[in-house]
Structure 1
Amino acid sequence: MIELAAIATEQRNPRSRHIDQVSTEEMVRIINREDHLAASAVEAIIPDIAKAIDLISGHLHDGGRLFYVGSGTSGRLGVLDAAECPPTYSTGPDLVQGLIAGGESAMFRAREGAEDDESLGKKDLLDKGLTEKDVVVGLSASGRTPYVIGALTFARQRGAATIAIDCSPHSPVGACSDIDLCAMTGPEVITGSTRMKAGTAQKMILNMLSTGTMIRLGKVYGNLMVDVKATNHKLEERARRIVMTASGCSRDEAIRALGQSKGQAKPAIVMLLLHISYEEAQKRLQAADGFISRTLTTASTEKGIR
């Protein structure tokens, strides 16, 4: 069994050794200075993050799914990122899924012992019918969580792609993965409290993975979330603004186009820019793998040929 002192995230931070004796403002400054290190740790592994995005987007394009697997804070962060994909990018609920040791109830009440069983990681993925088309991202700050190791090991056996997000070098979860995204954030302000810097770095990486993947799947035009699902008043207004910004149309024209496109911003934009029907816009988007930019380029080329 590995001693806690040997784990990078469990070491004592000399910069916060007297944090209990300083003013509240200095306390916060210490925390803030340490938080800056999380961004630097993520920056150091950007090439590997880019490789992970290409790996994930390739599998999802070919019909695969993305699973985030973790326990405690790491598991909650994965569930959070997965839950944000459907409203932001109109993905199906099964495309990106978050699995946390101990099940859904562990999102709200800690079940620390659930992470210690490797077989549970395997079981949760087995229940999801994991295949070689899928991608499994294992999150573990220490890099040694049995639940995550079990999940990644099983994923490899099934031929699925595997990615680790951890904060401790040369870790077991990294060894189980095709790509090891190790953000070396160093010792926490409060020793072992990996919901702090390690959690911040993991959240930043998840933001990059999901956002980058959705861009690569054609769900972004420029920097506009053109696949947003307008399920409430705020998102309906956002969809209108997106259509207006992308097409240069008036508010009334945006409302009319969205009405014709069943509330979908992407075809509404194509309809307005190319002056075509909803059915034709959908057909052209499908031929362009859902990319508005490719759709417009193809239309421009066709016009030039004619």
Structure 2
Amino acid sequence: MPTQPPTIDRQHDGDRLSSPTEQRLAASTELDALPSVEVLRLMNAEDRVAVDAVAAILPQLADVVDLAADRFLRGGTVHYFGAGTSGRLGVLDAAELLPTFNLEAGRVVAHIAGGPAAIVKAVEDAEDSDAEGRAAAAGLGPDDVAFGLAASGNTPYVGGALAAAREAGAHTVLVSSNPRATLAPLADTNIVLETGPEVLTGSTRLKAATAEKLVLNGFSTALMVAVGRTWSNLMVSVVATNEKLRHRTVRILQEAAGLDEAAARARLADADGELKTAIVTALAGVDVAEARRLLAGRHGSVRDALAAASDG
């Protein structure tokens, strides 16, 4: 049965003020009196806080990766929900997965409060719509994973999305920089990034966003590794949509199989440009049809296909 979400008592303005991201950073109270290089040094020092904050939650994030990978291989999907900077970071991460990992449309989807227009122009009041968040999460199911991205941990749009996702049986994750996030009860996994006050008070496009981007990049890359979209540390699922990427596929095949450029190009041509297929033909000594069969039976994993060829 779908889990019924708890009632959230937001008291929205007070919640914003209670978030660490809204507090003043003692080290930057003279910010406007500093020379530019000192402003930059201060920001750089505080950026290290974001990296440490992510390091602290890696075991939690790894559990989400493993759960998402199981669901993904069953046909499930991943959804990011956010407003403002958080929403834009979700859009960026999801968009980059398609060419990098040959990811099918609709497998990792980003939703931003205010819709596509909010990607390039602030739609400030859109984040206050619980109903819009619920509408964005319509259609999710038990095999899906929903990330709520909100530095304050209090954004109504994100709350609506997480509530609807949870009602549908999806696994819900909240990523915030607020240990007292009011949306935490809606999350099956509550990831708190302890980034503290910003150099510029309340500007969560700084440390909080840096930490959030690291979480998203880490999650999505580890997910793609877990579901066989890489081999070794090579980008073997890359889609060669331009000349730069066509050269890259040749170089990857050279690295993977120890071939010279001419031999790599010939292998790719025989495989109709399918990099994974070319790698399996080269390393397993099988023809293109057999390489495709091995890959198809193992969710496209080159490692598993090579192991099957060896066992066979």
Partner of 1:300: 310
Does the 8 Å CA contact 1:49/1:209 hold for their aligned counterparts?
A: yes
Does the 8 Å CA contact 1:69/1:138 hold for their aligned counterparts?
A: yes
Task: Give the drift of 1:3.
Answer: 5.0
Does residue 1:200 correspond to 2:247, yes or no? no
Q: 1:7 is matched by which residue type in structure 2?
A: S
Q: Write the deviation string for residues 86-134 of structure 1: whole angstroms up to 9, x where unpaired.
A: 10000111111110000000001000100001010011122xx222221
Partner of 2:7: none
Partner of 2:120: 108
SS for the counterpart of 1:267 is helix
SS for the counterpart of 2:137 is helix
Partner of 1:78: 90
Does the 8 Å CA contact 2:16/2:154 hold for their aligned counterparts?
A: no
SS for the counterpart of 1:68 is strand
- 11, 29, 32: which one aligns with 2:44: 32
Q: 1:152 is matched by which residue type in structure 2?
A: L
Q: 1:112 is matched by which residue type in structure 2?
A: E
Partner of 1:229: 239
Partner of 1:123: 135
Q: Write the deviation string for residues 12-38 of structure 1: whole angstroms up to 9, x where unpaired.
A: 000111011111111110000000000
Partner of 2:222: 212
Does the 8 Å CA contact 1:68/1:137 hold for their aligned counterparts?
A: yes
Partner of 1:10: 22
1:107-256 maps to which residues of 2 (within 5 A)? Answer: 107-126=119-138, 129-256=139-266
- 290, 297, 308: which one aligns with 1:280: 290
Partner of 2:271: 261
Does residue 1:56 correspond to 2:68, yes or no? yes
Q: Write the deviation string for residues 246-270 of structure 1: whole angstroms up to 9, x where unpaired.
A: 1111111211121222222111100
Task: Give the drift of 1:297.
Answer: 2.1
Question: Could you state the TM-score of these two structures normalised by the residue count of structure 1?
Answer: 0.96
Greater shift, 283-292 or 248-257, is seen at 283-292
Does residue 1:67 correspond to 2:42, yes or no? no
Greater shift, 99-108 or 243-252, is seen at 243-252
Does the 8 Å CA contact 2:15/2:182 hold for their aligned counterparts?
A: no
Partners of 2:39 and 2:55 in 1: how far apart? 26
Does the 8 Å CA contact 1:66/1:96 hold for their aligned counterparts?
A: yes
Partners of 2:271 and 2:213 in 1: how far apart? 34
Does the 8 Å CA contact 1:69/1:75 hold for their aligned counterparts?
A: yes
Task: Give the drift of 1:52.
Answer: 1.1
Partner of 2:8: none
Q: 1:140 is matched by which residue type in structure 2?
A: A
Does the 8 Å CA contact 2:172/2:186 hold for their aligned counterparts?
A: yes
Question: Could you state the TM-score of these two structures normalised by the residue count of structure 2?
Answer: 0.94
Q: Write the deviation string for residues 60-82 of structure 1: whole angstroms up to 9, x where unpaired.
A: 11101111100000000000000
Task: Give the drift of 1:299.
Answer: 2.2
* Number of positions where the alignment pairs a residue of Structure 1 with one of Structure 2: 300
Partners of 1:4 and 1:70 in 2: how far apart? 16
Q: 1:38 is matched by which residue type in structure 2?
A: A
SS for the counterpart of 1:256 is helix
- 17, 25, 35: which one aligns with 1:23: 35
Partners of 1:123 and 1:130 in 2: how far apart? 11
Q: 1:236 is matched by which residue type in structure 2?
A: R
List 4+ stretches of structure 1 deviating above 4 A: none
Does the 8 Å CA contact 1:167/1:185 hold for their aligned counterparts?
A: yes
SS for the counterpart of 2:306 is helix
Partners of 1:93 and 1:253 in 2: how far apart? 33
Does the 8 Å CA contact 1:140/1:173 hold for their aligned counterparts?
A: no
Q: Write the deviation string for residues 126-184 of structure 1: whole angstroms up to 9, x where unpaired.
A: 2xx22222111110000000000000000000001111111101312322111111111
Partners of 1:44 and 1:185 in 2: how far apart? 11
Percent sequence identity is: 42
Partners of 1:274 and 1:255 in 2: how far apart? 18
Does the 8 Å CA contact 1:164/1:179 hold for their aligned counterparts?
A: yes
